[in-house]
Structure 1
Amino acid sequence: MNPDLDLTLERVIRAPRAAVWDAWTDPSRFEQWWLPAPMRCKVDRLEVRPGGAMVTRMSEDGETFLPHLDASFLVVDDLERIVFTNAIDSAWRPVDPAPVAMTAEITLADHPDGTDYRVVVRHGTPESRTRHEELGFFEGWGTVTAQLAKAAEG
């Protein structure tokens, strides 16, 4: 973890790791929490495997869905770790995504109260990290993590 380049978030989710993993890997469950409510998510592709695609769309009105994320999974260790990047799209083409390029690492570990959930979002420059933080990283990722917890705990 490099504090000049990375943003982090940690939370204990009061659910077993398998429930958190399922919320990350099942497209219908993923759609329930991936974007901050009241925004809605549609999953076009969620191939949770190394080299697999992560393509989502978003809607503010629940009717019109616009492109949101076109990314690739880099590492998938069942029930333990997911790493994806938006710097490589689902067709494995290098891209310069707006608003910032990032690589996100999600780790799951057992905790006496459920699952220790950790996120590290890596950026290429301090400016990208600062921009992501200013755009609301902690509020946005915090909100979706709370929604993920609700989905996994329920």
Structure 2
Amino acid sequence: MTRPATAMTSRVEAGTDLILERVFRAPRPLVFAAFSTPEQLSQWWGPRGWELPVCTVDFRPGGRWHYCMKCVDETQGEFYGMESWGLGIYQDIEAPARIVYTDYFSDAEGQINAELPPTLSTLTFEEVEGGTKVTNRGSYATAAALQTVMDMGMLHGITQTWDRLAEYLEAQTP
């Protein structure tokens, strides 16, 4: 059995970049792969009580990741049954070290919601003693754009998402 992952840390830089870091107790190729296929992403992406009933991934530069998070937990009250659609467009992939993509809010057809801010996400995967350090730099056009997603509860949601990733990885690690 592996040791549990460390807690996620977060900080804001330059008013527009949200930096998230966490060490996962799994080998770098396994952690990187968890971000690359719909079969794997569907196992852990989203906060607790949310599932991915739709998840398609074309994992290559220029490819798209289109997904729907749906709240299936009745105890989450007003969120129960809610759907949140997203669209990622990959700019750069360097296996197993880096993934760069722009993450948009979208609709079921993959049309970008221009009323909500996109995030330029740069994920790096670094081998460290005992596992893999994942750093996600989420860059926003303005401080107000970053504040918009923070006000939506994004930090709470990503914390739970990465908790689920840690659990998924632990189950995959011999």
Q: Tell me, yes or no, whether TM beats 0.5.
A: yes
Residue 151 of structure 2 is aligned to residue 134 of structure 1? yes
Residue type of the alignment partner of 1:70: L
CA gap 1:94/1:68 in 2 versus in 1, 3 angstroms: closer
| The structure with more radius of gyration | 2
Aligned-residue offset at 1:75: 0.9
Aligned-residue offset at 1:48: 1.5
Query: Please, which of 23, 48, 62 is the counterpart of residue 51 of structure 1?
Result: 62
* Kept after mapping to 2: 8 A contact 1:42/1:65: no
Residue 98 of structure 2 is aligned to residue 103 of structure 1? no
Structure 2 residue runs without a partner (length 5+): 1-11, 74-80
Runs of 4+ off more than 6 Å: none
Number of aligned residue pairs: 150
Structure with more relative contact order (C-alpha pairs < 8 Å, separation 6 or more): 1
Residue type of the alignment partner of 2:32: W
Q: Aligned residue for 1:81?
A: 98
Aligned-residue offset at 1:130: 1.4
Q: What's the Cα RMSD here?
A: 2.5
Aligned-residue offset at 1:95: 4.1
Residue type of the alignment partner of 1:100: P
Structure 1 residue runs without a partner (length 5+): none
Percent identical among aligned pairs is 24
Aligned-residue offset at 1:45: 1.7
Query: TM-score, normalized by length of structure 2?
Result: 0.76
* Kept after mapping to 1: 8 A contact 2:97/2:126: yes
Select between 127-136 and 6-15 the one with higher mean Cα deviation.
Answer: 127-136
Q: Aligned residue for 1:41?
A: 52
